[in-house]
Chain A
Amino acid sequence: MADTVAAPADAEDREREPAGFAFEDRPRPLEGIRAYGLIMAMWVRSTMAYRASFAMTLFGNLAVTAFDFVTILLMFTHVDALGGYSLPEIALLYGLSATAFGVCDLLLGSMDRVGSRVRDGTFDTLLVRPVPVLAQVAADRFALRRLGRITQGLLVLGYALVTLDIAWTPLKMLLLPMTVISGAAIFGAVFIAGAAFQFVAQDASEVQNSFTYGGTTLLQYPPTVFAKDLVRGVTFVVPLAFASWLPALYVLGRQYPVDLPQWVAFLPPLVAAGCCGLAGLAWRAGLRSYRSTGS
């Protein structure tokens, strides 16, 4: 499978190479986004060559993430509330976190391959191309099937919004899309920082998974379920709480278990910007420390 996909990819790159030099007059971020778009389009085309396979993996992606929510549904066949939260309330937390994570997973989900690329020496190839390395790594093996996760998150979010009895204000309505976008950016920062860590520890991609997949699993349950120290950790150290809990609890009119003022519910964009800045610095430091295996 890998071979058949890689061959047209290389051919594609050779064709695009001359166009690559035209990037030089553009500002770097734009150049990166353009390169990301080109690589992404290439992977989408190669995926669509096997439509049946794509449909199956899309379904599989949706089903495997849906199991998280099925578990919660099974739990609710035995109880009416978990950690003091009803099913629709938990569905709101779940929907926000799963959608945000899904968006990030679609855009950056292959970042955990940095370690294996460093190990097998193919990372060097990325360095010699006249395209920002981060864009290449992020778009590497772009997998459209990950739309399954976003779909599943949106379905649960829809269920929550239909069943919940909330006194909607314009502010609360604005808060939801802002949370999803900021949440995706916060998760993205974790993905990038994790990838930067892999320059140091080459086959430790699972550590990254425990923060990304583990983080989204954690956010799918109400904060009252977890020990206070753990809640403090994901609020102040790795600020995942801003990706769903804090704004969602404001919408639900609930108290956060750790003492914080109400207005922190509106901080996610700032927190996301800060996280992305730090992740960018970590990525640069990681890239600078890179030593080729020489193979």
Chain B
Amino acid sequence: MTDKELRVSKIRDGTVIDHVTAGQALNVLAILGIDGSGGESVSIGMNVPSDKVGYKDVVKVEGRELSQSEVDVLSLIAPEATINIIRDFDVVEKNRVEQTDTVRGILVCPNHNCITNADEPVRTEFEVLGDGVRCAYCDTIIREGDVAEHIDARGSGETAL
């Protein structure tokens, strides 16, 4: 499959996440809380040759747009990604992910004794550092390469289209 074929293949409504760092496609799905049980139609390209970045992953999801907090976390694991929102077969929005200062929800603090892991009415909050993120509650640092491991597998609960 070439870059061009992938880009033109049609979905009716949903999101195409392009230029994902090679190898991160499954983590992107984890961020979106997609494990197949929700019935979404998903296609993934992994290690697809790309003129721009050598190799990349591509994720296409039917019937689903991304919330800002999802995009925030994508920026940590796939800083070069582009987000294409598709409605009625047309690209209506094309965005680059941007590094944000804070990621809310989405990540779980690895510190078991952190108050965000107790049964409290609070969303996790992580400050984005140069090379990782830090829990705004207990200060635990997650290094950049480990961020994907701490994605909330239950999804953020605010990802519905």
Q: Do A and B come from one complex?
A: no
